[in-house]
Every structure is written in structure tokens, then in C-alpha cells.
Amino acid sequence: MIIEIIIPAYNESKRIASTLERCFAYQPPAGHTLRVTVCDDGSTDDTCSIVEGLAARFPDLRLLRVGSNKGKGAAVRLGMTQSLPDSDYLLLSDADLASPIEEVERLLPHMEHAAVAIGSRALDRSLIQVHQPPHREFMGIVYNRLVQTLLLPGLYDTQCGFKLFRATVAREIFGASLVDGFSYDVEVLRLATARGYIVEEVPVRWFHVGDSKVRLLSAPAAMFWEVVVISRRLGRGPRACRCGAGAGFPVRRIPF
């Protein structure tokens, strides 16, 4: 089975090389192979040249470019919809590897019956190795309550940047997505549940890493507004699955 890792990047020259080194040093479970696609969102630093240089060492590395800076959602959409046709799973991972690449092994077993398995910091907080500053954690809690109320009941962490998709499902739902900003996660998860796909939330290890691209003065208001807009378009969905912290709440299953 081929796992293609989709990494959105914007001005990540300080850490993209170490991130890619860690990805290619990882040995996936038997029967699985890894590819990596970096999706550049109009970086103005050396991110692209660094990735292109490393591609000479790693044949399974490629670079896609959005062009001008459009937003994280636009970069992820490009990677998902332009993923390699023979990839079986698409793993979304942030460029900082806040969830170590090895955590994919917690998500893979859920793909036997789910279409999407999302890493979660909320289900087992003992797995958080380094916490965010208190104000960021508080913002995340408030944001999640809004998301659950308007769109995705039963999902307690939609924003963790570590999600595994069946490739066919990812191409479908990202192809229908519209949000270019940070709330793209919420939109694609609601699109998945609207189509009857199973979404499961799985606890993963997570480390807060500094130099976040989420700006405290502008991003929260934009994200809250995006959630309102998405809810007007798609409405509130069925209760999704929670795994590893008590009961699960399945949505309708359909064949893949």
C-alpha cells in the first residue's frame, strides 16, 4: 500500500529539510511504502529550492506550487487533488511534524472501515508532549465548540494537522471544497460526513512547535466566519466516530 504524505508549506525554509529527512528516515509498517509531496503556498523564502535540492536525493519527493499565497486550504487542496494516481492513502501532515510521522501507525488500522482517520489532541491529553500557550489552547476550545454546534458533533479536534484519507475519498471531497483558509479541515470533514463516509477521531502524540502561521490578530476572526459560512452551505452533520476515549458514534457506512 502506498502512503503519499501531503505537506503544505509557506516560508518553511528553516525546517523543511529536517522534516523531509525525518519522513524518509521513517520505516513504515511492512507492506507500505512512502512518498512525499510538498505543496508550496507562494513562499518568498528558499522553501522551494530546498525541496528541489532534496528531490535529487529522494526520488519519491516532489514539489507542487500553488503560485501566489492563497492560504493553507488552497495548498492542501492542490496536493490532494493532484496526488499520484496509484497512491492508496493520503496523509496530511504539517511541515513542523507536530505529530511525529510514526503516529501514522495509530491511524492506519482505522482505515479498514473508515474513509478518514483524524489525529486528535483532545481524546487523550496525556499524549500531548508539549502544550500550546494557554491562550491558544483556549481559542482552540472555543473554536471546537462552535464547530461541534454548527457542523461536526462528536469531533473534538478538527484542527490537528495530522489526518489520513483514503485517496479516492480525499480527491472527491477536496475537489468539492472551496475554503482556502485555515478552516479547510472543517469543510472537508463536513463534506465527508455529508457523503456518508466514516470519519474517526484517534488520539495521537503531539508537540507544540513555535513559529505558527496562525496569526492571533486576524486568523481567529477569519476562521470563525469561515465556519459560519460553511454551516450555511452544508448544515450540521451526523455525529461522527470517536475512538480510543470511550464510545464511538458511527455514521452511515457506504462501500469504497
Give the span between the Cα atoms of 107 and 122, in whole angstroms: 15
CB-count exposure of residue 129 (10 Å: 0-12, 13-18, 19+): exposed
The set of cell numbers assigned to 215 is 496569526
| Residue corresponding to grid cell 460553511 | 230
Give the span between the Cα atoms of 50 and 256, in whole angstroms: 37
Give the distance between the most distant pair of CA atoms in the chain: 47
Give the span between the Cα atoms of 71 and 41, in whole angstroms: 7
Residue 238 has a pLDDT of 81
Q: Are 3 and 33 in contact (CB under 8 A)?
A: yes
Cα distances (angstroms) measured from residue 147 to each of 53, 87, 164, 178, 180 = 40, 30, 20, 17, 17
Per-residue pLDDT 10s for the chain (256 aa) are 999 999 999 999 999 999 999 999 999 999 999 999 999 999 999 999 999 999 999 999 999 999 999 999 999 999 999 999 999 999 999 999 999 999 999 999 999 999 999 999 988 888 988 888 888 888 888 999 999 999 999 999 999 999 999 999 999 999 999 999 999 999 999 999 999 999 999 999 999 887 656 555 667 888 999 999 999 999 888 887 656 433 333 333 333 3
Give the span between the Cα atoms of 103 and 101, in whole angstroms: 5
Domains along the sequence of the chain with CATH: 2-242 (3.90.550.10)
Total length of the chain: 256
Give the span between the Cα atoms of 136 and 120, in whole angstroms: 16
